[in-house]
Amino acid sequence: MENIQEESISLLPLGNGSTSEFRYSRGLEDDRVHATKSKSNFLLQAVLVVFAAEIALYLYINHTLNGLLRNPAKELSIQNSYMGLEDLYRTGRNTTTRYPPILNAPRLTGQVSKAEPRKVFPQDQHRRMMSFGTVSSFDRHIQVSEDIHTLFQFRSTDYGMERCALALQLPPLDAALPEPFVLGDDGGDSLFDVCAVETSKPLDLASLSWATRPKCDKYVGTLLARAGEEVMLPEFFCSWASLHTFEVSCAQRSPRCTLDVWSSFPNDTYGFVLYQYQTV
């Protein structure tokens, strides 16, 4: 019979190598794999730590910026620079000098339109370019009609001048003015309602519209406006540095009134002004 050779596969290295040598070489290879994995794990952990640190830094910066945006400088209260004066005047032993009333101009004026609730009116319309840059004029615009109201805001000034009265000053019809002056349909008398506005913050003219305006808090009075005259509303208390915001509109019994006047302080004081009278 033909002699058939059996096929066999060696499970261990052939030759002179021993089983212990084979195990040693496998151990070295395992160590190298383990070392490589350790380095990879270390790099991965380092990347994760850096990534987490960057996220924490981003969140911190975002929180800080949001805090600044939520608390702009214009909302910070004005600190009292008249410390001790109340105690001084309370003693009654001081000598008081009498001063004439202060004429306070509005810090801000802005229009809103009932017919266009989302409209934001332009500001600083008399801004002009000079050789040294852009210059803004201290102009204030009062415009009132059937659809348009004007909001204006004062900040009372100086200590001991805490009795205030709101007044409307109008130029003569024939006054030479840089902007047209309009009162009524033919220059006749007009009635206007004034209300105090419920707000303790400066008006934001960049977003002021009929839809966003602060609402009237209480009725102040009705003015009968005449060209070339000044009319005044009753006095009210105005503590130092307090904000006072008003809205003027056509009176209910005169819904089709018209008023359009510009003022350019300190050259003229047409429009609404605030008189402050001495209280100490």
CA distance 192 to 257: 8
| Section 117-125 average pLDDT | 90
pLDDT at 12: 52
CB neighbourhood size of 144 (10 A): 24
Q: Are residues 69 and 106 both part of a single domain? A: no
Full residue range of the structural domain in which residue 232 is found = 101-123+132-277
Q: What number is the average pLDDT over the span 108-118?
A: 95
Residue 10 located in a structural domain: no
Residues 107 and 235 in one domain: yes
**18, pLDDT greater than 60:** no
pLDDT higher than threshold 70 for residue 21: no
- Note the pLDDT of residue 91: 76
Query: 132 or 112, which is more confident?
Result: 112
On whether both 179 and 54 belong to a single domain, the answer is no
153 and 237 inside one domain: yes
Count of structural domains within the chain: 2
Most confident of 3-17, 36-50, 176-190, 214-228: 214-228
Residue 95 belongs to some domain of the structure? no
Rg (CA), the chain: 39
Answer whether residue 120 shows pLDDT above 80. Answer: yes
Which residue from 35, 246, 63 is spatially nearest to 144, judged by alpha carbons?
A: 246
In-domain check, residue 86: no
- Is 193 part of any domain? yes
Which residues, other chains included, contact 65 with Cβ-Cβ below 8 Å and sequence gap of 6+? none
What is the C-alpha separation between 90 and 237, in angstroms, rounded? 19
Query: The tokens of 23 are what?
Result: 């195990």
Predicted confidence at residue 179, as pLDDT, reads 86
pLDDT in tens, 32-73: 666 666 777 778 888 888 888 888 888 888 777 776 666 566
pLDDT score for 275? 96
- Residue 114, domain member (yes or no): yes
Q: Is residue 32 part of a domain?
A: yes
